[in-house]
Chain A
Amino acid sequence: MEPTTQKLIYNFAALADLGEEIANTGDFTEMVRTSLHLLLGTLAIRRGAVVECLPDENQSRCLAIWGLDSGFDSEFTLDPKSRDEFLTLGILALKQDYAPVSLSTFIDRYNTRLLEQGLELVVPMIVRSQLTGLVLLGGKASGQPFVDEDYAIIRAMVRHIGVGIHGRRLLTQVEQRAAENRRLYEDLRAIYRDTVCAFAAAIDIKDKYTQGHSDRVGKYSEVIARELGWPDEEIEGIAIAGYLHDVGKLVVERDIINAPYAIDAKASTELNRHPNAGYEILSPIHHPYADIPLMAKHHHERFDGRGYPDGLEGDQIPLGARIVTLADSFDAMTTDRPYKTRRPFADVIEDLRRNTGKQFDPEVVIAFARALLRELTGEVKERRIMKILGKNYVDPELAVPLVRNLIVELESAKHSAAAIGN
């Protein structure tokens, strides 16, 4: 093979390897080191270094060094004048007699030291009119001087390396900004959650007999949504909806909310305003989760269509609202109220059974019962429902068959309904 052809093929292969290396998104330092190797190997240059120049910083540092003594300075100070000169220069020989213009302060300072290391060339890496760095190169193993063809290869390869460094720098900036945005977003979410919790506490303080109700409804709703397989983001949303479902009570008179007896029709009408009032309060807020105002509005709808405020039925009611409905009722039955003490657990399960398909969505009741059963049997370590209900309220020995029967009965009813439907 003609030596020229062989050299062309060899150079071409090296450029292809370099392109592949630059495109590699792996370890940055290794990418620069390998790129330097490729450049040195292409022209059989025995030593060299890649120096990174950061924008607006005088200090520059070596990203990769090959064949230089351990005493080689890996940091350079580049003053603005040197930067400007490098920007206007192409390949710069270190020896005075090769220099096309008066030598920069950088060369003045480092010329002797670089020459002592066997370095002969300084090649500025310029990307988008900015000095990205410098490549310092020693002489060729052949002992021959660099020729125009060598310079052309060096320029091409150094441009590749410069683009690689510049690209990685941009990527790092984007990643840093993304990380910063993530942090800000998390902060905002935390602020939102804290605000919601404070709001929920304010609602519950107004209703002295049901303190902690909003918090408990949020937690039950979360448990049900998780059992239904909702994604984490939406589970967080339903918890918020639970915390805020009674926000409309803020506009209802305190005497009605705190009445220590069953309220009359007039007071009841007043109290029944709270879902719509909640919707009005929550609608102008840009919630990070969908449908929170609707969940507050419809948490007193019934599955059979006999609820309020809109008399929606079945799937017309948002699923989130159907979940909050059950959570709200379950908490009402299992906590003391102004006019009655909490009901025994067996009664509560019986109420759920009787009202499934009427007040409650069967799927939601089944999900809640499953989560409850898992806690009662110890299948799950985290007992969120039981913790809320307290130690002495539920006897697992009695509760497990009740809950299990409820699930079996509701599942069976569901399958029968499906069979009739088919």
Chain B
Amino acid sequence: MEESTGSSVRSHCVGSTAVIYASDYLNKLSGEKIERECKRQLDFGCRALVIDFGNTELVNSIGISILLGIIDIAEKNGAQVVFSDVNQQTVELFEMLGLTRHVVLASDEREALSTLARLKVSVAVMGS
């Protein structure tokens, strides 16, 4: 079920994956809301985060810093991070700055969820 938290970030859970929707401009204000929501989902036991950029036109430098922080927190919690539906300009920015070394990009939410499912399977196979 999709929910809008007090911080006005839309999110919903698919199994142990949280899907969080970024707003049109990822700056300090909206970035901190996403960061809080990601932390909340991880605290609730989510093992993967999908941040959907379908509505996002622009990401500024504070937004980048906050995304790096989210990646850090996710890594510390043993969670995967996938960015979905990122526009071309933002993809180029993520590549230029090296964020794509730490996250998987997916064309949309569905692909993000299936990517995570594949990753889980491969981790499980490696574990066995």
**Chain B's interface: helix, strand, loop or mixed, by majority?**
helix
Cβ B65 vs Cβ A41 within 8 A: yes
Residues A41-68 near B (CB distance < 8 A)? 41-47, 66-67
Contacts of A14 in B (CB 8 A): 60-61
Cβ B68 vs Cβ A6 within 8 A: no
Contact of B64 among A34, A41, A47 (CB under 8 A): A41
Tell me, yes or no, whether B40 is within 8 Å of chain A by CB: no
Tell me, yes or no, whether A140 is within 8 Å of chain B by CB: yes
Cβ B28 vs Cβ A37 within 8 A: yes
Contacts of A339 in B (CB 8 A): none
Cα distance, A42 to B64, chains bound together (Å): 8
Contacts of A409 in B (CB 8 A): none
Cβ A141 vs Cβ B62 within 8 A: no
- In the complex where A37-B28, A142-B101 touch, is A7 in contact with B96 (Cβ < 8 A)? yes
- In the complex where A3-B92, A6-B92 touch, is A37 in contact with B101 (Cβ < 8 A)? no
Residues A1-60 near B (CB distance < 8 A)? 1, 3, 6-7, 10, 13-14, 17, 34, 37-38, 40-47
Cβ A140 vs Cβ B98 within 8 A: yes
Cα distance, A140 to B93, chains bound together (Å): 14
Interface string of B94-113 (1 = CB under 8 A from A): 00111101100000000000
- In the complex where A1-B92, A67-B72 touch, is A34 in contact with B62 (Cβ < 8 A)? yes
Tell me, yes or no, whether A144 is within 8 Å of chain B by CB: yes
Tell me, yes or no, whether B116 is within 8 Å of chain A by CB: no
Cα distance, A323 to B68, chains bound together (Å): 72
- In the complex where A3-B96, A44-B99 touch, is A34 in contact with B28 (Cβ < 8 A)? yes
Contacts of A143 in B (CB 8 A): 98, 101
Contacts of B63 in A (CB 8 A): 41
Cα distance, A17 to B96, chains bound together (Å): 20
- 5 CB contacts below 8 A, A to B, read A10-B96, A41-B65, A67-B68, A67-B69, A143-B98
Tell me, yes or no, whether B66 is within 8 Å of chain A by CB: yes
Contacts of B92 in A (CB 8 A): 1, 3, 6
Residue on A with the closest CB to B32? A37
Residue on B with the closest CB to A13? B60
Residues B16-32 near A (CB distance < 8 A)? 28
Cα distance, A1 to B96, chains bound together (Å): 12
Cα distance, A41 to B71, chains bound together (Å): 13
Interface string of B60-83 (1 = CB under 8 A from A): 111111101101100000000000
- In the complex where A41-B64, A66-B65 touch, is A141 in contact with B96 (Cβ < 8 A)? no
- In the complex where A37-B28, A141-B101, A141-B102 touch, is A42 in contact with B61 (Cβ < 8 A)? yes
Residues A284-301 near B (CB distance < 8 A)? none
Interface residues on B, range: 20 to 34
Interface string of A142-166 (1 = CB under 8 A from B): 1110000000000000000000000
Contacts of B71 in A (CB 8 A): 141
Residue on B with the closest CB to A157? B61
Contacts of A43 in B (CB 8 A): 97
- In the complex where A34-B62, A38-B61 touch, is A142 in contact with B98 (Cβ < 8 A)? yes
Residues A128-143 near B (CB distance < 8 A)? 140-143
Contacts of A66 in B (CB 8 A): 65, 69
Cβ A17 vs Cβ B102 within 8 A: no
Contact of B60 among A6, A41, A45 (CB under 8 A): A41
Apart from A10-B96, A13-B61, what are 6 other A-B pairs with CB-CB below 8 Å?
A1-B92, A44-B65, A44-B99, A66-B65, A141-B102, A144-B98
Ordered nearest first, which 3 A-B pairs have the shortest CB separation?
A142-B98, A41-B61, A41-B65
Contacts of B97 in A (CB 8 A): 43-44, 140-142
Cβ B96 vs Cβ A38 within 8 A: no
Minimum distance in angstroms from A48 CB to a CB of chain B? 9
Minimum distance in angstroms from B102 CB to a CB of chain A? 6
- In the complex where A1-B92, A46-B72 touch, is A37 in contact with B98 (Cβ < 8 A)? no
Cα distance, A44 to B102, chains bound together (Å): 12
Minimum distance in angstroms from B101 CB to a CB of chain A? 6
- In the complex where A37-B28, A38-B61 touch, is A6 in contact with B69 (Cβ < 8 A)? no
Contacts of B60 in A (CB 8 A): 13-14, 17, 41
Max count, chain A CB within 10 A of own CB: residue among B62, B92, B97, B101: B62
Cα distance, A141 to B65, chains bound together (Å): 10
Contact of B62 among A3, A6, A41 (CB under 8 A): A41
Contacts of A40 in B (CB 8 A): 65, 68
Cα distance, A37 to B96, chains bound together (Å): 18
Contacts of A6 in B (CB 8 A): 92-93, 96
Cα distance, A3 to B66, chains bound together (Å): 22
Contacts of A141 in B (CB 8 A): 68, 71, 97-99, 101-102
Residue on B with the closest CB to A7? B96
